[in-house]
Amino acid sequence: MAHDLTPPDPSPVLELLGAYRKSKVMFAAISLGIFDKLSSGPKAVAELAKELPADTDALERLLSACEMLGLLQRTESGYANTPTATAYLTSTSPNRMTGYASYTDRVLWSMWDHLDDAIREGTNRWKQTYGWDQPIFSSFFKDEAAKREFLFGMHGYGVLSSPVVVNAVDLSKFSKFVDLGGATGHLTIAACRRWPNLRGVVFDLPAAIPLAQEVVGESDVKDRIDFAAGDFFADVLPMADVYALGRILHDWSEPKIDSLLQKIYQELQPGGAVIIVEKVLHDDKSGPEWAVLQSLNMLVCTEGKERTLGEYEQVLTKAGFSNITCVRTAVPVDVVMAMKV
């Protein structure tokens, strides 16, 4: 009896073997300033090579790769940014994701190099990679440049997702919205824009507040947003009838989550709510892709992980919350809302 010796399709393996190359193409183009240089219009390869400066032949190879990836386009005058690159990869765009790209390239990339050790030991890699004794966030705030890069990295994702988040839940009956760990204030800005009944507070570490004030100060809802500095684990929380935790809980272990949720519950009056903004895993943890990969990222660089709705229900119920709902979205975060009755 003949056996079919045809091997299976190797495409998944081949794609993964080269996937890192695509990321590095984008990271290198951002680092070299290519998208910023092209923000004023198309440039020929030789002209761009002189301005950067860069080797002309090597640069042409990189530009061709960026074109292949949909980040650049070729015109009669030379290479030009695509609308996607202009929106997300130029340093002056309000929707820029350059901060997160640089953070991924310079910080996460090195820690992911030790993913096998993280799996063996079940712990993050900041000590192994950088020699840091303090949590990763403390290291990001060590100087002004590192702080701005990290916070604007989070800002890039927030600008994309926050409007979707505040449209996914009904906040019409609330009046005071406090975003714990609010970074640049993108979620508070979106909430106040969508819900005119709200006043907002951005609560974050003292080092983060000046940048939040800068970003909020340029918004059309700045008159309805205040700021409070502190550590949400250690300090008194501002009064609110709805607290938001945007991409916060996935950073921390269950004991710290229990402590924070209990603190929020005690602060709220009956009828108050907490909103958890994270990408929620499927019940069997097989997807969605973003959450599965982000959960590995949390292993490598924090104390936490991504969780299923059942796991969020468990910690919320333990803290005293009820009426728990979840809205899944097409952006990199979903919304879990729970009430104090």
| Phi, psi at 276, each rounded to 5° | -105, 120
Distance CA 337, CA 132 (A): 35
What is residue 284's three-state secondary structure?
Answer: coil
250 is a catalytic site residue: yes
Same-fold call for 11-90 versus 111-339: no
Q: Give pLDDT, residue 3.
A: 66
Average pLDDT over residues 222-240: 98
Average pLDDT over residues 69-82: 97
Q: Give pLDDT, residue 132.
A: 80
pLDDT at 147 over 80: no
Average pLDDT over residues 144-171: 84
Dihedral sign computed on CA atoms, order 254, 255, 259, 262: positive
Q: Give pLDDT, residue 94.
A: 82
Average pLDDT over residues 202-228: 95
Dihedral sign computed on CA atoms, order 185, 188, 190, 192: negative
Q: Give pLDDT, residue 266.
A: 98
Confidence of residue 2 (pLDDT cuts 50, 70, 90): low
Q: Give pLDDT, residue 140.
A: 65
| Structural tokens at position 41 | 């219009």
From the candidates 3, 114, 186, 250, give the one annotated as an active-site residue: 250
Q: Give pLDDT, residue 148.
A: 74
Distance of CA 341 to the CA centre of its chain: 31
pLDDT at 143 over 90: no
> What's this model's pTM, rounded to 2 decimal places?
0.91
Strand order across the 199-204 sheet = 225-229, 199-204, 176-180, 242-246, 273-278, 334-339, 322-327
Q: Which CATH number fits domain 11-90: 1.10.1040.10, 1.10.472.50, 1.10.10.10, 3.30.565.10?
A: 1.10.10.10
Q: Give pLDDT, residue 141.
A: 65
pLDDT one-digit tens code per residue, 280-326: 999 999 999 999 999 999 999 999 999 999 999 999 999 999 999 99
pLDDT one-digit tens code per residue, 186-200: 999 999 999 999 999
CATH 3.40.50.150 fits 111-339, yes or no: yes
Burial of 21 (0-12, 13-18, 19+ CB in 10 A): exposed
Distance CA 44, CA 260 (A): 55
Please report, for the chain, the start and end positions of each structural domain, with discontinuous segments joined by +: 11-90, 111-339
